[in-house]
Amino acid sequence: MDLSPYIAEAIKLLREAKSVAVLTGAGVSAESGVPTFRASDGLWEGHRIEDVASPDGWERDSNLVWTFYNLRRTNVSEVQPNPGHYALAEMEKIWGEDFNLITQNVDGLHQRAGNTRVWELHGALNRTECTGCGDIVDQGLTDLGTDPRCKKCGDLVRPNIVWFGESLPHEVWKKAQEATFLCDVFLVIGTSAVVYPAAGLVRLAKQRGDIVGELQPAKVIEINITPSDVVTYVDVGIYGPSGEVLPKILEGIRKG
């Protein structure tokens, strides 16, 4: 399918935008070689993702949870940002403080590509959080074994990841909502948009005028290989790999 008319429409909307917010999901890292969650029936070695990414799963078997996260950590340590990540980093340079990248990803690839205004809704793979004293530490992406301990208090540490049933970090969520509320164009990229509250940002971008009368609904551009759950809010849908579509959009914005 020829995507160029949709790409042209996205470029036009972006060139008119004063402020841009982006929500990314696992799909933006797929071309780097990071597996998405819902591709293989949402299973990891026979375990439901929810079982290795929930407080219940952790209570039941913290060894299994650490095995899962060590694999994800080493996987991410071996991959590189792809052209989609780099295009988003270039866009931040264009819009500066009016460009906010909200991500559900925990792989740190946006920061490695050069984005600085990144709001990590679901935590980060490189950080651990002590189950005793709450200390949060950047441990890089090495394999930590299945019984990693806090250097301060000796208790077991867990991945600093927001699991199913847990709340999002308050300040980060506030920033994400603010950026969404203030943007003229909202890009939703590589997410199935089924996990809330993150997916609710798309609706917020569209319905901000219901809260402050004079605000127009933001224009929503979706980039995915297939329409997501929030397709009803999408003004322009570009259905192709983000690592190919985003550099084309960047090129078009620059040509202006």
Question: Which chain residues interact with ligand OAD by CB under 6 A?
Answer: 25-27, 30-31, 36-38, 49, 53, 104, 122, 161-163, 190-192, 195, 223-226, 228, 241-242
Q: Does the active-site annotation cover 110?
A: no
191 binds, among Zn ion, ligand OAD, none (CB under 5 to 8 A by kind): ligand OAD
**Residue in 47, 85, 110, 122 annotated catalytic:** 122
For residue 104, the minimal CB distance to ligand OAD (Å) is 3
Helices of type H across 126-241: 170-182, 200-207
242 binds, among Zn ion, ligand OAD, none (CB under 5 to 8 A by kind): ligand OAD
Residue 122: name the closest of 176, 62, 180, 202 by CA: 176
Nearer to ligand OAD, 214 or 232 (CB): 232
Contact residue for Zn ion among 33, 35, 55, 132 (CB under 5 A): 132
Q: How far apart are CA 210 and CA 216, in angstroms?
A: 9
130 binds, among ligand OAD, Zn ion, none (CB under 5 to 8 A by kind): Zn ion
For residue 196, the minimal CB distance to Zn ion (Å) is 31
For residue 19, the minimal CB distance to ligand OAD (Å) is 23
Q: Does 153 bind Zn ion (CB under 5 A)?
A: yes
For residue 122, the minimal CB distance to Zn ion (Å) is 22
106 near 122, Cβ under 8 Å? yes
For residue 167, the minimal CB distance to ligand OAD (Å) is 11
Nearer to ligand OAD, 148 or 241 (CB): 241
Q: Which helix (H) or strand (E) holds 120?
A: strand 118-120
153 binds, among ligand OAD, Zn ion, none (CB under 5 to 8 A by kind): Zn ion
Its sign, for the CA torsion 222, 198, 124, 88, is: positive
197 binds, among ligand OAD, Zn ion, none (CB under 5 to 8 A by kind): none
68 near 44, Cβ under 8 Å? yes
31 near 247, Cβ under 8 Å? no
CA of residue 60 relative to chain centroid, distance: 28
Contact residue for Zn ion among 133, 136, 194, 225 (CB under 5 A): 133
Residue 19: name the closest of 214, 218, 209, 245 by CA: 218
> How many CB atoms are located within 10 Å of the residue 100 CB?
23
Q: How many residues bind Zn ion (CB under 5 A)?
A: 8
Q: Does 147 bind Zn ion (CB under 5 A)?
A: no
Interacting residues of 136 by C-beta distance below 8 A, sequence separation 6+: 127, 128, 129, 130, 160
Q: Does 152 bind Zn ion (CB under 5 A)?
A: yes
Residue 125: name the closest of 63, 65, 57, 76 by CA: 76
Active site residues: 122
Which residues contact Zn ion by CB under 5 A?
130, 132-133, 135, 150, 152-153, 155
